[in-house]
Structure 1
Amino acid sequence: MPRITEERLQDRRASIIAAARQVFAEKGYEQSAINDIAQIAGTSDGLIYHYFDGKKGLLVEVIDSVYRNLIEGTESAIAEQTDFRGMLTVLVDRHVHSFADDPDLSRLFIAEIRNFDDHADSAGNRLNHVYSSVFLRVLAKGVEEGKVSGKLDPRLVRDIFFGGIKQLALRHISDGVPLEVASVTRQVVAFLIGGLAATDA
């Protein structure tokens, strides 16, 4: 039997993860089955178990890929900006897009994954902290430029930002109403710029 190359192995894993992402998003985690994923990936249940530790292991991989792509894309986009407002606008736009572009997957993250007993200690939660730390760095840039008050608790601002967008997204997803990314981004940026402004700026 010919040996499977590393490239072929990675392709197989990627196709299975992509299939799992689709099935989890469409059916929810509890209603999904390995067989559903195998059919979409064009492989067998046994091969999936060969590469992954069952359905939960696949979910971990899906979460990991989503966060890593989001972090990498956001970091890259922010790096192209030179000032606080530009960085903040890009970050808000990408974050809102992450909900608007895939509402089914967003529902999975908001309604199911965070309710898992082991979520707090999971790799996905750690990646979430890495992602949210990007916001803290952008906020620090605002303080450095004198656009943001240094008296504010950055963690409080971070929690308000991510919590607020999550609630907004959940409402739109539940109502079946698409998020208008440009409008939401404009309003959130205006709200933050005004509310965070240093009094002596």
Structure 2
Amino acid sequence: MIADDPSAGVVLAVCAATDDVILDTIGASGIDKRPLAGRIAVGELGLMPDHVVDTKYHGGIEQAIYAYSEHEALRWAEELGRELPSGWFGENLRIDGLPTTDAVVGERWEIGGDGLVVETTIPRTPCRTFAVWAEERRWVKRFLDRADTGCYLRVVTPGSVGAGDAVHIVRRPDHRVTVRDLVSGTTADADALATLLACEDLGPKVRREASRKLAHA
């Protein structure tokens, strides 16, 4: 556990899409995540029960799990004037007490007591499916402008996860680049991005997003 981390986060809900939802102009989608009871097995590609339809842009090793912050969800709920239950953002984990969008890229979290360790990778990029699902005016632009995107996670060590599990930071890189820094339209420090890109163990999607940001920094 990081010595200067004052508190642990907690998993409020574990969510997955066990059935497709059919959206107008889109078709089948796995965005409709619903909370699951009990302990859920997690493998290299994420929650075992979860269903991904568009595998070109969703899922995979670097996007195995999507985490969203309760704090950011409540802020959106207040602005939109509607309840946004766990899973509404298409997230697998609704987390309280620990930053998701403002987590350092490559930060590792230990979740629960069954050995699950995950690593933060890239921000969520909103798409047309998310816009149709949200049914909110100019949703993609508003979501990007706010830049509260949550973060994708790579599974370092498989295990299981359940609502109520504590989330502890067990490693935090010193390059200072956060997931929010990689969101399109945000500003990022060029030196920090260069330090991140010097890391040899970066996944291809993290390297791609960091390279894009450095080109515009």
Query: TM-score normalized by structure 2?
Result: 0.25
Instruction: For CA contacts below 8 A with separation 6 or more, give which structure has more relative contact order.
Output: 2
Greater strand share, 1 or 2? Answer: 2
Larger Cα-atom Rg: 1
Query: TM-score normalized by structure 1?
Result: 0.26
Greater helix share, 1 or 2? Answer: 1
